[in-house]
Structure 1
Amino acid sequence: MTKARLMRKLFRQGSAYLLVAFLSAAASSVSASGELAQTTAFKQAVAESIGADAGLAEFYRNNAYQPVWTGQTAKSAARRAGLIEALSTAGMHGLPAGKYRLQELLNRMESAKSVRDLGLLEAEMSRVFVAFARDLHSGLLEPSRIDGGVARKRPQVSPADLLQGVSGGDPRAYFKSLAPETRQYRALLKQKMALERQLTQGGWGEAVPVSKMELGDTGPEVVALRNRLVRMGYLKPTASPTYDETLREAVQKFQTAHGLEPDGVAGQGTITELNRTVAYRLQSVIVALERERWLPRERGERHVLVNQTDFSAKIVDQGRITFETRAVIGKNTHDRRSPEFSDQLEHMVVNPSWYVPRSIATKEYLPKLRANPNAVSHLEITDSRGRKINRGAVDFSQFSARSFPFSMRQPPGQKNALGLVKFMFPNKHNVYMHDTPQKHLFSREVRDFSHGCIRLADPFGFAYALLARQEDDPKAYFHRVLGTGRETTVRLKEPVPVHLIYRTAYIGSKGEVEYRRDVYGRDQKIWEELSKAGVVLPLVQG
Structure 2
Amino acid sequence: VNLLNKNIFTSKKNNHSLSANQYMKLVERKDIEFYRGKIKYYKSLERYQWPMIAPIKLRLGLRVKEVAKLRWLLVKLGDIEPHNLSAYRESIYDPSVEEGLKRFQKRHGITVNGKLGTLTLSSINTDPSVRVAQLQRALKESLKRFDEEKEYVSVNLIDYTLRISKNGIEQLNMPVIVGKPTSRTPELSTVVTSITINPTWTPPASIIYQDIIHQVEKQPNYLKNNDFVLRDYETGLEDPNLAGMDIASLKTKLKKSALVQRPGIKNALGQFRFTIPNTGAIFLHDTPNKSLFKRANRALSHGCIRLSEPELFANYLINKEPQETQLLFKKALKNSETIHFRLTSSLPINIVYQSIWIDKNGRLQIRDS
Relative to the length of structure 1, the TM-score reads 0.55
Q: Distance in 1 between matches of 2:151 and 2:128?
A: 35
Q: Which residue of 2 aligns with 1:409?
A: 260
Q: Which residue of 2 aligns with 1:27?
A: none
Q: Which residue of 2 aligns with 1:331?
A: 180
Deviation at 1:325, TM superposition (A): 0.9
Correspondence for 1:347 among 158, 181, 194:
194
Alignment of 1:202 onto 2:55: no
Q: Distance in 2 between matches of 1:472 and 1:226?
A: 56
Which structure exhibits the higher relative contact order, with contacts defined as CA atoms closer than 8 Å and separated by 6 or more residues?
Answer: 2
Residues 223-279 of structure 1, C-alpha deviation per residue, up to 9 Å, x if partnerless?
Answer: 564343134232124525555443344234324433457x66447455554344434
Q: 1:341 to 1:257 in 2, by over 3 A?
A: same
Correspondence for 1:438 among 281, 285, 289:
289
Write the mapping of 1:19-38 to structure 2, written as runs, cut at 5 A. none
Q: Distance in 2 between matches of 1:477 and 1:210?
A: 62
Q: Which residue of 1 aligns with 2:314?
A: 463
Correspondence for 1:359 among 194, 197, 206:
206
Q: Distance in 1 between matches of 2:93 and 2:327?
A: 50
Alignment of 1:226 onto 2:63: no
Q: Distance in 2 between matches of 1:495 and 1:347?
A: 8
Q: Distance in 1 between matches of 2:7 and 2:55?
A: 39
Q: Distance in 2 between matches of 1:89 and 1:331?
A: 40
Correspondence for 1:420 among 263, 271, 274:
271
Write the mapping of 1:206-355 to structure 2, written as runs, cut at 5 A. 206-207=52-53, 209=55, 216=60, 218=62, 220=64, 225-235=70-80, 236-237=82-83, 238=85, 239=89, 244-259=94-109, 265-266=114-115, 268=117, 270=120, 273-293=123-143, 295-299=144-148, 301-333=150-182, 336-355=183-202
The SS at the match of 1:228 is helix
Correspondence for 2:335 among 456, 462, 484:
484
Q: Distance in 2 between matches of 1:252 and 1:395?
A: 52
Q: Distance in 1 between matches of 2:280 and 2:318?
A: 25
Q: Distance in 1 between matches of 2:271 and 2:70?
A: 46
Q: Distance in 1 between matches of 2:317 and 2:8?
A: 41
Name structure 2 gaps, 5 residues minimum.
none
Q: Distance in 1 between matches of 2:24 and 2:355?
A: 24
Which structure shows the higher helix fraction? 1
Q: Distance in 2 between matches of 1:311 and 1:288?
A: 17
Q: Which residue of 1 aligns with 2:248?
A: 396
Q: Distance in 1 between matches of 2:6 and 2:113?
A: 44
Deviation at 1:177, TM superposition (A): 4.5
Further displaced range: 505-514 or 388-397: 388-397
Deviation at 1:516, TM superposition (A): 2.6
Q: Distance in 2 between matches of 1:467 and 1:179?
A: 27
Residues 495-529 of structure 1, C-alpha deviation per residue, up to 9 Å, x if partnerless?
Answer: 222222332122345654321344xxxxxxxxxxx
Q: 1:398 to 1:431 in 2, by over 3 A?
A: closer
Q: Distance in 1 between matches of 2:217 and 2:248?
A: 5
Alignment of 1:133 onto 2:14: yes
Q: Distance in 1 between matches of 2:41 and 2:151?
A: 31
Deviation at 1:201, TM superposition (A): 0.6
Q: 1:481 to 1:367 in 2, by over 3 A?
A: same
1:180, 1:292 within 8 Å by CA — same for their partners in 2? no
Deviation at 1:289, TM superposition (A): 3.8
Q: In structure 1, what residue type is equivalent to 2:153?
A: V
Q: 1:442 to 1:477 in 2, by over 3 A?
A: farther
Which structure shows the higher strand fraction? 2
Q: Distance in 1 between matches of 2:308 and 2:324?
A: 22
The SS at the match of 2:165 is strand
Residues 23-57 of structure 1, C-alpha deviation per residue, up to 9 Å, x if partnerless?
Answer: xxxxxxxxxxxxxxxxxxxxxxxxxxxxxxxxxxx
Identity of aligned residues (%): 25
Q: Which residue of 2 aligns with 1:38?
A: none
Q: Distance in 2 between matches of 1:383 and 1:396?
A: 18
Q: Which residue of 2 aligns with 1:75?
A: none
Deviation at 1:356, TM superposition (A): 0.8
Q: Distance in 1 between matches of 2:230 and 2:94?
A: 60
Highest Rg: 1 or 2?
1
Deviation at 1:475, TM superposition (A): 9.8
Deviation at 1:323, TM superposition (A): 1.6
Q: In structure 2, what residue type is equivalent to 1:288?
A: A
2:197, 2:271 within 8 Å by CA — same for their partners in 1? yes
Q: 1:249 to 1:484 in 2, by over 3 A?
A: same
Q: Distance in 2 between matches of 1:226 and 1:445?
A: 28
Q: 1:373 to 1:415 in 2, by over 3 A?
A: closer
1:133, 1:178 within 8 Å by CA — same for their partners in 2? no
Q: Which residue of 2 aligns with 1:78?
A: none
The SS at the match of 2:340 is strand
Relative to the length of structure 2, the TM-score reads 0.77
Correspondence for 1:192 among 18, 22, 39:
39
Name structure 1 gaps, 5 residues minimum.
1-81, 96-131, 138-161, 166-172, 519-542
Further displaced range: 362-371 or 491-500: 362-371
Number of equivalent positions: 355
Residues 371-415 of structure 1, C-alpha deviation per residue, up to 9 Å, x if partnerless?
Answer: 887555523333423443765777638969xx9554222211222
